Amino acid sequence: MSENVPPEQSQSQGHDHQSLTTPLLSAQHRSTNSTSQVAIVGVNLCPIESLDYEIAENDFFKQDWRTRGRIQIFQYVFMKWLLCFLIGGIVSLVGFCNNLAVENIAGVKFVITSNMMLAGRYDTAFLVFFLSNLSLTLFAAIITAFIAPAAAGSGIPELKAYLNGVDAPGIISLRTCIVKIMGSISAVSSSLLVGKAGPMVHTGSCIASLLGQGGSRRYGLTWKWLRFFKNDRDRRDLVTCGSAAGIAAAFRAPVGGVLFALEEMSSWWTSGLLWRAFFTTAVVAIILRALIDVCLSGKCGLFGKGGLIMFDVYSANISYHIADVPPVLLLGVVGGILGSLYNFLLDKVLRVYAIINVKSITYRIFIACAISIFTSCLLFGLPWLASCQPCPLDTAEACPTIGRSGNYKKFQCPPGHYNDLASLIFNTNDDAIRNLFSRNTDSEFQHSTMLIFFVTCFFLSIVSSGVVAPAGLFVPVIVTGASYGRFVGMLLGSHTKLNHCFYALLGAASFLGGSMRMTVSLCVIILELTNNLLLLPMIMMVLLVSKTVADTFNGNIYDLIMKAKGFPYLEAHAEPYMRQLTVADVVSGPLQLCHGFEKVGNIVHILKTTSHHGFPVIDEPPHSESPFLYGLILRAHLITLLKKRAFLRTPVRIGAEAFRHFLADEFAKKGLGNVDKIEDINLTDEEMEMFLDLHPFTNASPYTVVETMSLAKASTLFREMGLRHLLVVPNMSNRAPVVGILTRHDFMAEHILGLHPLLVNSKWKRLRFHFPPFLKIF
């Protein structure tokens, strides 16, 4: 096997006693790899900091609640559930207020413009519409750009990366949370074609994280009794519950929310977490249900029938037969193709925006305004293209519509007529979806109307998603998909017996499947949105077909965005070229070591010259018989030790003595962005010559791999166990007891292929359709 060891490795094999007694002091900047990637939002990546179970697993602070006493266990379990309850409660209130605000702001806007149009004052109506949209967009863009740039966009890709172990500071903070809520309300109300689900997921996660940290330390809003969860794992679990609550609150889909968090968001999952996420969304469902009961009695202003009220497409006598299957399959195939095209275009547009956005804040706000103006013009201008339709005689609804919600907008039409395009486009997204899903309205829309609406939605939603404001993707995809599906249903005409509303539903499913590529969670979200179980086999079929078709072209929309943002996401499977390498092939030296008794000066030097977050601890003669690996110590703990100045004049073991100086709290994981820096600690020369006993503060059970372990298996281990550091030990006697340390970056394709460029060709060939070169326009 020794012929496989690459040059770097043979260097570290050269460690002898001399090199071990004096830690190597040369700087080693592995984390600079990350800066070579372009971060397309204003988020500073700090990717080495990641989730781990390792933290505080030293003698001093054994962090497992199961070892505690009965009362402490009870307290811990109770706090976990209490926090979930609080998350559910707050997220449902936020979600409800969000919806209420949107319905009222957008409602007032539409009522005023409609009234002006009824009075024939079209130019004033346009001016009001245009200016209110512009000012709402401007508000959202300004608070996002100046206060919390991390609140822009959907937020789901960032959270997915966070739950995979990537800390992006600012993603989860009080400021981001407030901007996200305010920005989402004004962006959605401003008639931009942006969604609310992504922002709700982000808001839910922020709320969960803030509660888990015990409030926001930056603003002094902290509650001691809430600061119960000192480790990443508990916080990550809370954030997962928060994201489930977000979907539950956005769509009133509690089970769908849990499954979304499970399928799309989280990288690790336990049955206990499933159970708590379920509890959280149950709280959301019950509170929302109670609040809606209040609103149904008419106390909520213009709170309409869209959004939180289900799109009820139930029909007791749905019957579909074998003849309906071929058109539905076709719908799925085309939906898959459109969905992947949507992803492709969205990815490109976001990359273009990213290039513009880095230039200055003015550009970003300018783009937002341009999109708003363009949208207003389209929404107001397009309905003039549609011809007026006479009101149907047998409808249960008023025609033309009086007030805000309704299928038959009058727009510019003469009395007794309605403008079918205006019913869709000159409306909130929720109401447009409701109209598309409405039953027994097969003759309401013209072919040209539906086609225009579909094309507008398709492109407008792509363009709008890059705006510097909270902008979700779920609702735009549903609107686009539903219009596509309904158009297909209209084309089929009398060849099918299914009502057009079912085609709209299946179209939405196919477009969601083609763009989001989820299965079970989408299926349940659609069920919960539409309250229709009998169509389940059809929806499953469409989702399967569209996902399969779309997967042959490109990836999941959130993964594409995450990739474009350069997050070091650890995939669940190892790439094949990793099988051809051993861990020794990617470990880059020289290795930074600490000793069980280390001079303060050496520690300060190591901390100042490297950016590593963990260091192996070695015991050597005369403190042990032969050199052996004691464990792993974290940078944060070293800094805490230096700050507390628990120095020794001579290198002797301290026992119970050590624990008197420290509180467990000091070794707890800090909230994001609250990290102490080595530069802030000033030590005298005398202190620099003293010693620290690291033993009680070292994690004595680090995970290790043998140096001949295949990189693929090490990568699986790293991913599955949620590690942050993985020590490499020799497989042969007569060697230093540790030969290297692996971090997240050592498993990134760029790092590995940079070291071994010949392996580029052995990347996993997914069965994907590749466009011939001349078709590659971007």
To a copy of itself, the closest distance from the beta carbon of 16 in angstroms equals 11
Q: Round to whole Å and give the CA distance between 540 and 529.
A: 15
Separation of alpha carbons 211 and 227, rounded Å: 8
Q: How far is the CB of 285 from a copy of itself (least distance, A)?
A: 4
Nearest approach, Cβ of residue 43 and a copy of itself (Å): 25
Q: Specify the residue, 329 or 398, whose C-beta has the smaller distance to a copy of itself.
A: 329
Please give the Cα distance from 323 to 496 (Å, whole number). 8
Q: What's the rounded Cα separation, in Å, for the pair 275 and 660?
A: 39
Report, in Å, the least distance between residue 754 CB and a copy of itself.
21
CB of 333 to a copy of itself, least distance (A): 16
- Whichever of 1 and 111 has its CB closer to a copy of itself, that residue is 1
CB 615 within 8 A of CB 592: yes
Q: How far apart (Å, rounded) are the C-alpha atoms in residues 128 and 113?
A: 7
Distance CA 332, CA 544 (A): 8
Shorter beta-carbon distance to a copy of itself: residue 141 or 255: 255
Q: Is 691 helix (H, G, I), strand (E, B) or coil?
A: strand
Nearer to a copy of itself, 431 or 575 (CB): 575
As a three-state string, the secondary structure of 301-368 is: CCCCCCCCCCCCCCCCCCCCCHHHHHHHHHHHHHHHHHHHHHHHHHHHHHHHHHHHHCCCHHHHHHHH
Judged by beta carbon, residue 107 or residue 596, the one nearer a copy of itself is: 596
Q: Which is nearer to a copy of itself, 576 or 655 (CB)?
A: 576
Choose between 705 and 741: whose C-beta lies nearer to a copy of itself: 705
Smallest distance, Å, CB 570 to a copy of itself?
A: 14
Dist CA 567 CA 564 (whole Å): 8
What the block records as the tokens of 67 is 């070892």
Closest distance of CB 397 from a copy of itself, Å? 18
Q: Is the distance from CB of 546 to CB of 581 less than 8 angstroms?
A: no
Residue with tokens 């060939």: 765
Nearer to a copy of itself, 278 or 459 (CB): 278
Q: Write out the two tokens for 541.
A: 């079929």
End-to-end CA distance of the chain: 45
What is the closest distance, in whole angstroms, from the C-beta atom of residue 316 to a copy of itself in the complex? 7
CB nearer a copy of itself, residue 541 or residue 646: 541
Q: Which residue, 268 or 453, is less far from a copy of itself as judged by CB?
A: 268
DSSP string, 73-115: HHHHHHHHHHHHHHHHHHHHHHHHHHHHHHHHHHHHHHHHHHH
The CA dihedral of 387, 388, 392, 397, to the nearest 10 degrees, is 120
Q: What's the min distance (Å) between Cβ of 735 and a copy of itself?
A: 6
Smallest distance, Å, CB 262 to a copy of itself? Answer: 8
Closest to 645 (Cα-Cα) out of 679, 691, 680, 613: 691
CB 565 within 8 A of CB 37: no
